[in-house]
Amino acid sequence: MDGTLIDSEPYWIGAELALAERFGATWTYEDSLTLVGNPLDVSAEILKAAGVDLPIETIIDDLLSQVTARAREHLPWMDDSRQLLEALHSAGIPCALVTMSRGAFVEAFLDEAGHFFDTVVTGDEVSRGKPDPEAYLLAAQRLGVLATDCVAIEDSAAGVRSAHASGARTIGVIRHVDVPQIDGIARVTSLAHVTVDDVRAFAHGERPRSLAD
């Protein structure tokens, strides 16, 4: 969700910077970039270690509250991802949302986009967040398929490693941060030219031109 479907990373970065400033913690934009794709509890622990003197759950609640408020005002879709998601949905291909976000922020997204997804896995539904493959394995189980028969689309190192470890054929979209070069992963800077047929081909082990590294 974050960074792949919607450009919410600036919302998270702004929330982290504001929270750190309240406590006089040393925190920079670059520090926030290192949190992209992390489970919320991991990010909260890092913020706490940097000087945000609050319980982990309070840090998470504060960040979620700030980001949800901004998302309710404006949901910043990534046009290329929305176009592909709509095409997959129209083609009748089951889709799962696998996100480490949770609570009201995910609800705000699903209020507008819930009809696209056959199942949703959130960060509070797994015991091990990304880069562990648990979330993707759970999503595949709920779809009634093997993860190895799925195509996953991610935009962070943690997300790509999670999807790849599950066995899903993985597309890494380079947005705010780079994604790792791992054998078998297709790295792209945009999904604008990726079609449903390209996704089908990739699922069967082919590498369409639109998914050239």
Break the chain into its structural domains and give their ranges: 9-73, 79-211
> Mean pLDDT across the stretch 2-17?
93
5's CB contacts (< 8 A; 6+ apart) are 77, 78, 81, 82, 85, 97, 109, 113
- Burial label for 10, CB within 10 Å (0-12, 13-18, 19+), is middle
pLDDT digit string (tens) for 115-156?
A: 999 999 999 999 999 999 999 999 999 999 999 999 999 999
Q: Looking at domain 9-73, which CATH architecture does it have?
A: Orthogonal Bundle (1.10)
Task: Report the distance separating Cα 5 and Cα 42, nearest Å.
Answer: 22
Output the pLDDT for position 69: 93
186-188 and 169-173 beta bridge pairing: parallel
What single letter denotes the amino acid at residue 150?
Answer: C
**Res. 176: pLDDT tops 90:** no
**Res. 202: pLDDT tops 90:** yes
> Mean pLDDT across the stretch 103-115?
93
If pLDDT is split at 50, 70 and 90, which confidence band does 37 have? confident
79-211 CATH pick, 3.30.1330.30, 3.40.50.1820, 3.40.50.1000, 3.90.79.10:
3.40.50.1000
The pTM assigned to this predicted structure is 0.86
**Res. 213: pLDDT tops 80:** no
Instruction: Transcribe 121-137 into DSSP letters.
Output: E-GGG-SS-TTSTHHHH
pLDDT digit string (tens) for 38-85?
A: 888 999 999 999 999 999 999 999 999 999 999 899 999 999 999 999
Q: Decide: 152 and 136 in contact? Cβ < 8 Å.
A: yes
Task: Report the distance separating Cα 177 and Cα 84, nearest Å.
Answer: 21
**Res. 8: pLDDT tops 80:** yes
> Mean pLDDT across the stretch 169-181?
93
Q: What is the three-class DSSP state of 193? A: coil
Sheet holding 169-173, edge to edge: 151-154, 169-173, 186-188
Output the pLDDT for position 212: 83
pLDDT digit string (tens) for 155-166?
A: 999 999 999 999
Residues listed for the chain? 213
> Mean pLDDT across the stretch 21-46?
92
Structure tokens, 86: 């709509």
**Helical H runs in the chain?**
9-22, 29-33, 40-50, 56-73, 79-90, 103-113, 134-143, 157-166, 196-203
Residues of the chain above pLDDT 90, percent: 91
Helix axes 103-113, 56-73, angle to 10 degrees: 30
Intrachain domains 9-73 and 79-211 with the same fold: no
Average of per-residue pLDDT values in the chain: 95
Q: Specify which residues 171 forms β-bridges with.
A: 153, 186
